[in-house]
Chains A and B, each alone.
Chain A
């Protein structure tokens, strides 16, 4: 499943992350999954929320640089090897995973969910949903549709 993730630029300074979280809190926005990629100087906060366009508007208004990035979301059966299985499908088809992170655990759910940022989202989506096989990836026009999101 393709979902929209919000990416927020955060300077690597005390209190900066808290500022973003504060804005989300004030607007009662629930973070369903998150990760931070960072360097010494800055970080990119990536979050999954319920209404990404609305939240983007809110964060922009608060003065942040925000971007909507489509990512793949996978539901995994909660057992060893299930993530490996999905990721190997992608790598065999030449899809590069830029980063990956998990949703907050929900005890009611029997499944785990992860978010993947890949370089060919449409192909990844088809591979994960089983609409095409790894071996077909390069041959089948439908499966090799270039990704027009970027």
Chain B
């Protein structure tokens, strides 16, 4: 039997959904034009008035918003509600050391909890579930986002946060955890640790995993499902839009249903910005239709995906996005954390007067992502003493981990040893199989 958290919304007929979306779009565009300086000036630059947005098609007239806009308006420039109405602030790492800041009103938290609860139900959870939330709590949206959804659903929540794998496994056994929420790579790490501890995952009550915050493949799903003996479900979200719960896989595991009554998706050609038809691969662009604290109009996610609108066998009519197929920029997601090569460049610039050539190598060692940064030693950085070079490595490592929020191994290498293509050093080598 199919169950839904919000059946009317999740099985709404297409026409009704389109009408709802168009009405909400018009409303939010009007509100932003009247109250939000950033959006008003963006629309004025295009000579647009709120009256120009009547149908869903009209969304194409509106300009895109990018992560750069968030950085330029740090910290609160994109907020659309007074601080007295903001009840929560989250932040994620940015490229210049400035985090990306998002704010939620009380109603936004309600919407977030709603879409997260929908996600958990679609993934097979219920009031009877006992969910261990091993996403990080704090500024990262992963932990609290799933937490609020699970509480709204009425599941038993274990807010263990990330890390301490042995303890995760111990509690999983002792508390009778039925579902775990974490990154897919961490799930594989847990599986491996259980093997080392001589624990058979099938003897635990674990049945479902809610995995996201980093791209992963069908092959990884098969590995997780086989090793842990569970259903591995993909959850999608990003803090700029709301956090986890923007989209979720259903029992069909054939694409992720987007809660499109709240988040309107488009797929565009990342180079030209042209909107592409359903079934074509491109960059996912999302518009929040109901958010108050920090609405987003046509936010470029940089995630590559494909949209499908045919009705799903699970009964949901909500549009489906394919599993994320990659990125349209050079961002890396390492252990669920966004990492840009330019962040590394900034750190190196802060150490010498010129940035040396560098390269990020990402590998999956024992199921955990590992970042190695190769730095070509310049004569300026070179000291004659081993200790001096070790201190340099140590300093780079320390600054990288504080800027990136991910620890990295730093290796000094000789000049011209980093592979170059057309004179430019290759910045990133991603050895993970995605």
| Chain A residues in the interface with B (C-beta under 8 A) | 5, 7, 9-11, 16, 37-39, 41-44, 46, 63-67, 69, 98-99, 117
Q: Is the CB of A11 within 8 A of B414?
A: yes
List of B residues within 8 angstroms of A11 by Cβ: 413-414, 417
- A98: chain B residues within 8 A (beta carbon): 385
Query: Which residues of B from 49 to 88 have beta carbons under 8 Å from A?
Result: none
In the complex with contacts A65-B377, A66-B379, A67-B379, A37-B414 CB distance below 8 A? no
User: With the chains together, A43 CA to B386 CA distance in Å?
Assistant: 7
Asked if B389 is an interface residue, CB under 8 A from chain A, the answer is: yes
With A9-B377, A39-B390: A63-B415 Cβ-Cβ less than 8 Å: yes
Residue contact B382 to A9, C-beta cutoff 8 Å: yes
Given contacts A42-B389, A42-B412, A65-B377, contact A7 B382 (CB under 8 A): yes
Given A65-B377, A65-B378 in contact, is the A9-B414 Cβ separation under 8 Å?
yes
**Given A11-B417, A65-B377, does the pair A41, B412 have CB atoms closer than 8 Å?**
yes
Given known contacts A9-B414, A64-B414, what 15 new A-B pairs fall within 8 Å (CB)? A7-B382, A9-B377, A11-B417, A39-B390, A41-B412, A42-B389, A42-B412, A46-B384, A63-B414, A63-B415, A67-B382, A67-B383, A69-B384, A98-B385, A117-B385
Cβ-based interface call for B90 (8 A): no
CA A99 to CA B411, docked complex, whole Å: 23
Using known A-B contacts A9-B377, A42-B389, A44-B389, determine if residue A64 contacts B382 with beta carbons closer than 8 Å. no
Consensus secondary structure, chain B interface? loop
Q: Is B219 an interface residue (CB 8 A)?
A: no
B415 to chain A: which residues have CB within 8 Å? 63-65
Query: Which chain A positions have C-beta within 8 A of B383?
Result: 67
**Can you report 13 residue pairs joining A to B where beta carbons are below 8 Å apart?**
A7-B382, A10-B414, A11-B414, A16-B414, A39-B389, A42-B389, A44-B386, A63-B414, A64-B414, A65-B379, A66-B379, A67-B382, A67-B383
Which chain B residue lies CB-closest to A37? B386
B389 neighbours in A (Cβ, 8 Å): 9, 39, 42, 44
The residue of chain A having its C-beta at the shortest distance from the C-beta of B417 within the complex is: A11
Chain A: minimal CB distance from B395 (Å): 15
Cβ of B365 under 8 Å from chain A:
no
Name the B residues within 8 Å of A117 (CB-CB). Answer: 384-385
CB proximity of A148 to chain B, nearest CB, Å: 16
Question: In the docked arrangement, what's the CA distance between A5 and B385, Å?
Answer: 13
Decide if A44 touches B384 in the complex (CB within 8 Å).
Answer: yes
B residues 372-392 touching A (CB-CB < 8 Å): 377-379, 382-386, 389-390
Contacts of A10 in B (CB 8 A): 414
Bound state CA distance, A38 and B387, in angstroms? 10
A46: chain B residues within 8 A (beta carbon): 384
The verdict on B416 contacting chain A, using a C-beta distance below 8 Å, is yes
Query: Which of A9, A16, A37 makes the CB contact (< 8 A) with B412?
Result: A9
A67 and B384 in contact, given A39-B390, A44-B389 (Cβ under 8 angstroms): yes
Q: How far is the CA of A64 from the CA of B378 in the complex (A)?
A: 9
What residue in chain A is nearest B378 (Cβ atoms)? Answer: A65
Q: Which single residue of chain B is at the shortest CB-CB distance from A66?
A: B379
Question: Complex Cα distance A117/B388, Å?
Answer: 13
CA distance A6 to B325 in the complex (A): 51
**9 A-B pairs with least C-beta separation:** A7-B384, A37-B386, A69-B384, A63-B416, A65-B377, A65-B382, A9-B377, A67-B382, A11-B414
When chains A and B are docked, how far (Å) is the Cα of A41 from the Cα of B389? Answer: 11
Give the one of A5, A38, A41, A63 with max B CB within 10 A: A41
Residues of A within 8 Å of B384, CB to CB, are: 5, 7, 44, 46, 67, 69, 117
Proximity bits, B388-403, A CB within 8 Å = 1, else 0? 0110010000000000
Shortest beta-carbon distance, B147 to chain A, in Å? 42
Minimum CB–CB distance for B386 against chain A, Å = 4
**Inside 8 A of B393's CB, which chain A residues have their CB?**
41
Q: Nearest CB to that of B387 among chain A residues? A: A98
- Chain A residues contacting B411 (CB-CB under 8 Å) are 41
Most B Cβ at <10 Å: residue of A9, A16, A39, A63 = A9
C-alpha gap A42/B377 in the complex (Å)? 11
CA distance A117 to B201 in the complex (A): 59
Interchain nearest-CB distance for A48 vs B (Å): 13
